[in-house]
Amino acid sequence: MGDRDLRVSDVEREHVGRLLQRAVGLGMLSLGEFTERMDTALAAKTRGELNAVLVDLPGVRLVGQPAPAAQRYAPPQPRYVAAHRIPQAAPGTVIRARLSSVERKGAWHVPPALMINSLMGSVRLDFTQAVMSTQVVEIHVDDTCSSVELIVPAEATVDLNAIDLIGSSANTKVRTGPPIGPLHIIVHGTLRFSSVTAKHPFGTNWKRFLNGA
């Protein structure tokens, strides 16, 4: 068995992710190519499969010798593509960020379901003054190297238990349920080297303390 047939670990996958990020910064990869190759790297089981996403990047290798030209990287259909093909989606239900930040605050109208697709970006959703159409809001995340921040009212509950985390984190500083107030948010989907945080506005806990709650 050669080096190319050895199984890879999460640490090696994360290392390749950092190499791909560097390649984007050097202008060797477009953002679309980065996302496609990240999906392949995260699904790789052997070092040969993992090396395939680096083989045409000069000076960037993980292990073993360069693959023959016939075996060089052919971009697969990215898993996140469904987020870009929702012809029936109503305006305002899909939030996309590419090397950018997106914020919703004030009296914005919240649909029953939202999709967040972010690449090296940040999304901040403030529900404290939002106009709700339903008690339960479902948020589907499909993020890579990004962050999502949910700011919710004191009586809201948030469920982050259905998120698939890959080198990522999901932190909630609010009640997780069951839905007992006017707002319950359910977040599911996939985070790759990303984070999602649910919290109350600054000073909420201090106000509760002053009010004897």
What are the Cα distances from residue 178, in Å, to 128, 139, 186?
19, 17, 11
Phi, psi of 71 (to 5 degrees): -105, 10
pLDDT of 59 reads 62
pLDDT of 203 reads 56
> Residues 134, 185: contact at Cβ < 8 Å?
no
pLDDT of 35 reads 83
List the domain boundaries for the chain.
3-71, 79-208
Segment 115-131, tens digit of pLDDT: 999 999 999 999 999 99
Q: pLDDT: is 82 or 196 the higher one? A: 196
pLDDT of 61 reads 54
The answer on pLDDT for 102 being more than 80 is yes
Per-state percent for the chain, helix, strand, coil, to nearest 5: 25, 35, 40
pTM assigned to the model: 0.59
My answer on whether omega of the bond before 178 falls inside 30° of 0, hence cis, is: yes
Segment 14-43, tens digit of pLDDT: 888 878 877 776 778 887 788 888 888 888
The DSSP H or E segment spanning 67 is none
pLDDT of 212 reads 52
Please list the residues that pair with 169 across neighbouring strands.
195
Please list the residues that pair with 165 across neighbouring strands.
191
pLDDT of 92 reads 66
Segment 134-169, tens digit of pLDDT: 888 999 999 999 999 999 998 899 999 989 999 999
Q: Report the C-alpha gap between 70 and 157 in whole angstroms.
A: 52
Q: Identify the residue whose tokens are 């009212």.
A: 153
Q: Report the C-alpha gap between 196 and 160 in whole angstroms.
A: 9
Question: pLDDT exceeding 90 applies to what percent of the chain?
Answer: 41
Q: Report the C-alpha gap between 125 and 179 in whole angstroms.
A: 19
Q: Report the C-alpha gap between 157 and 10 in whole angstroms.
A: 32
The answer on pLDDT for 10 being more than 70 is yes
